């Protein structure tokens, strides 16, 4: 949905209903509300969501309501996997299941399902509240999304029950559920079965930060606990892919996908038929339209500010010199043209004289002004230029002592001399800049160099 920034999440276990609101980045923006599990409280929770929003929800079902298993999928089609799933899962499988192939196992698929009776009741309550469910999945699958995508990991959480799971390359390959965690023998059996199945040695278990179980039960099985964020509500809040038919995504949709596809096709065809005669209904709410308008205005304003801040494009020294030479060539054509009047020729000669006055270093007048630099800076620059054969150099203090940087001011006819002097000073003053003189001080000599702070 366009401009939807918040997500309502619901976690259902045998004893509790927990709801919370997250931002799309996974940040919790509304404290979790917890209720005892029963149909009446479920209706109250959904009514509250409908009243305050967001009205699109994502749901996690506790492991006691879910099934997670791995089946052979050598045939690879959904029908054959469904047949095997019905043998392994004691439920009437309709829309309450999904599967995906394991990344590292060519002929193995993970299958998830939710108890049909619970799911049907849940969907009915959602419809009564006017809410839409976007994603549904078991607790262990939600937790697996928070773990690294490669490698074998054990995790453990303890809320109303003790849940331990094994995840390989992002896929849940086994779970262990118990009323309490101090049954060391049962826990040892689960850990041993995972080690045998995967033929890997496990030395670490990732535990929820709210785990209320001592480390002894894990250490007794050769596992070192490490704390990690394992909140399934947070996990489903950051879930990006919501298409149940996607082979890489496990997601139980509460409606038949074929029906959805048919409805979408009919809606598209209806829209095409009515385009010529009927105005299409508004696609976005008033709030979303206002946000979109402000977003566009913000973009335009930002672009305008950036353009205003951009410095004017400067001509390079070589380009200025080239333009001056072209101007001289044009004026020489006037001087040499027999049909030109005396006035035109005189004017052209003056232009040539003004433009072309590239002087020898010993003939050029240079003024160095200290406009805020350290004492002795002007003498330092003078020494550099004297070494380059410049002799007519005067060093003084500038009127303004708040200048910044080193600036070389030149007059139009001295552009080539300026380029040479700038090159001579650039090694010592790499940030030196050249500007055409405009003020009286800047024009007080053929070349004026002002040294700032």
Question: What integer pLDDT is reported at residue 244 of this predicted model?
Answer: 45
**H helices, E strands: number in the chain:** 13, 18
Question: What integer pLDDT is reported at residue 260 of this predicted model?
Answer: 47
Q: Write the pLDDT tens digit of every residue in 302-337.
A: 777 676 666 554 444 445 555 555 665 565 565 566
* Same domain, yes or no: 236 and 366: no
Note down the domain range covering 69: 61-257
Question: What integer pLDDT is reported at residue 448 of this predicted model?
Answer: 95
Dig out the tokens for 374 from the structure.
């350290």
Band of pLDDT at residue 25, cut at 50, 70 and 90: low
Q: Pairing between strand 171-178 and 162-168?
A: antiparallel
User: Is it the case that residue 395 has pLDDT exceeding 60?
Assistant: yes
Q: Is residue 162 part of a domain?
A: yes
Q: Write the pLDDT tens digit of every residue in 408-452.
A: 999 888 888 888 999 999 989 999 999 999 998 999 999 999 999
Report for 42-51, 113-122, 280-289: range of highest mean pLDDT: 42-51
Q: Is residue 270 part of a domain?
A: no
* Same domain, yes or no: 211 and 95: yes
What span, in angstroms and rounded, lies between the C-alpha atoms of 63 and 59?
13
Q: What is the mean pLDDT of residues 363-376?
A: 91
* Same domain, yes or no: 251 and 322: no
* Same domain, yes or no: 250 and 155: yes
CATH number for position 443: 3.30.70.2390
Domain termination site, one of 208, 237, 257: 257
Question: What integer pLDDT is reported at residue 254 of this predicted model?
Answer: 53
* Same domain, yes or no: 321 and 253: no
User: Is it the case that residue 167 has pLDDT exceeding 70?
Assistant: yes
* Same domain, yes or no: 191 and 108: yes
Question: What integer pLDDT is reported at residue 103 of this predicted model?
Answer: 57
* Same domain, yes or no: 220 and 360: no
Question: What integer pLDDT is reported at residue 230 of this predicted model?
Answer: 87
* Same domain, yes or no: 232 and 372: no
Q: Is residue 211 part of a domain?
A: yes
Domain termination site, one of 257, 288, 306: 257
CATH number for position 209: 3.30.420.40
Dig out the tokens for 435 from the structure.
């500007």
For residues 109 and 101, the answer to whether their CB atoms sit within 8 Å is yes
Q: Is residue 38 part of a domain?
A: no
Q: Is residue 175 part of a domain?
A: yes
* Total number of domains constituting the chain: 2
What span, in angstroms and rounded, lies between the C-alpha atoms of 280 and 382?
77
Q: Is residue 49 part of a domain?
A: no
Model pTM score? 0.53
What span, in angstroms and rounded, lies between the C-alpha atoms of 150 and 218?
23
Q: What is the mean pLDDT of residues 152-161?
A: 86
Q: What is the mean pLDDT of residues 387-407?
A: 89
Mean of pLDDT over the chain: 76
Residue 69's beta-bridge partner residues?
A: 111
* Same domain, yes or no: 235 and 376: no
Residue 62 DSSP symbol = -
Which range, of 27-36, 52-61, 182-191, 308-317, averages the lowest pLDDT? 308-317
What span, in angstroms and rounded, lies between the C-alpha atoms of 114 and 252?
8
* Same domain, yes or no: 125 and 248: yes
Question: What integer pLDDT is reported at residue 371 of this predicted model?
Answer: 92
Q: Is residue 308 part of a domain?
A: no
Dig out the tokens for 366 from the structure.
């240079």
Q: What is the mean pLDDT of residues 348-375?
A: 76
Q: Is residue 26 part of a domain?
A: no
Instruction: Specify the residue for token string 């509500």.
Output: 233
* Same domain, yes or no: 119 and 210: yes
Q: Please give the C-alpha separations between residue 210 and each of 159, 205, 214, 286, in angstroms, as whole numbers.
A: 8, 14, 12, 42
DSSP letters for 103-141: TT-TTEEEEEEE-HHHHHHHHHHHHHHT-EEEEEEEHHH
> Which strands make up the sheet holding 152-158, listed edge to edge?
171-178, 162-168, 152-158, 204-208, 224-228
* Same domain, yes or no: 74 and 218: yes
């Amino acid at each position: 949905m366009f401009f939807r920034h918040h997500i309502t999440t619901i976690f259902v276990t045998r004893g509790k209903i927990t709801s919370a609101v997250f931002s799309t980045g996974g940040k919790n923006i509304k404290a979790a509300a917890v209720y005892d599990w029963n149909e009446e409280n479920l209706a109250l929770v959904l009514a509250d969501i409908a009243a305050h929003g967001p009205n699109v929800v994502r749901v996690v079902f506790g492991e006691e309501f879910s099934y997670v298993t791995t089946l052979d999928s050598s045939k690879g089609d959904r029908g054959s996997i469904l047949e095997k799933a019905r043998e392994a899962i004691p439920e009437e499988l309709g829309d309450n299941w999904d599967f995906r192939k394991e990344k590292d196992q060519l002929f193995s698929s993970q299958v998830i399902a939710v108890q049909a009776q619970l799911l049907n009741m849940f969907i009915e309550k959602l419809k009564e509240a006017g809410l839409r469910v976007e994603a549904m999945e078991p607790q262990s699958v939600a937790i697996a999304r928070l773990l690294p995508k490669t490698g074998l990991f054990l995790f453990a959480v303890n809320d109303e029950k003790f849940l331990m799971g094994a995840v390989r390359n992002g896929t849940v390959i086994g779970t262990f559920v118990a009323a309490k965690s101090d049954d060391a023998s049962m826990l040892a059996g689960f850990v041993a079965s995972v080690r045998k199945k995967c033929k890997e040695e496990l030395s670490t278990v990732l535990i929820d930060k709210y785990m209320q179980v001592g480390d002894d039960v894990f250490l007794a099985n050769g596992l070192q606990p490490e704390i990690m964020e394992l909140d399934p509500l947070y996990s489903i809040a950051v879930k990006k892919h919501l298409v149940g038919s996607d082979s890489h995504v496990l997601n139980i949709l509460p409606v038949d996908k074929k029906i959805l596809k048919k409805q979408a096709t009919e809606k598209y065809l209806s829209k095409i038929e009515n385009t010529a005669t009927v105005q299409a209904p508004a696609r976005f709410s008033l709030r979303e339209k206002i946000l979109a308008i402000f977003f566009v205005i913000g973009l335009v304003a930002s672009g305008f500010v950036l353009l205003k801040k951009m410095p004017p494009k400067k001509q390079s020294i070589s380009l200025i010199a080239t333009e001056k030479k072209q101007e001289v060539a044009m004026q020489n054509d006037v001087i040499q043209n027999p049909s030109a009047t005396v006035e035109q020729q005189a004017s052209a000669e003056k232009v040539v004289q003004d433009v072309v006055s590239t002087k020898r270093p010993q003939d050029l007048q240079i003024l160095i002004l200290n406009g805020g630099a350290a004492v002795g800076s002007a003498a330092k620059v003078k020494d550099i230029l004297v070494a380059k054969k410049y002799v007519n150099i005067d060093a003084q203090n500038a009127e303004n002592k708040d200048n910044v940087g080193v600036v070389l001011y030149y007059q139009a006819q001295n552009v080539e001399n300026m380029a040479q002097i700038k090159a001579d000073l650039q090694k010592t003053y790499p940030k030196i800049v050249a500007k055409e003189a405009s003020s009286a001080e800047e024009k007080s000599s053929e070349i004026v160099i002002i040294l700032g702070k």
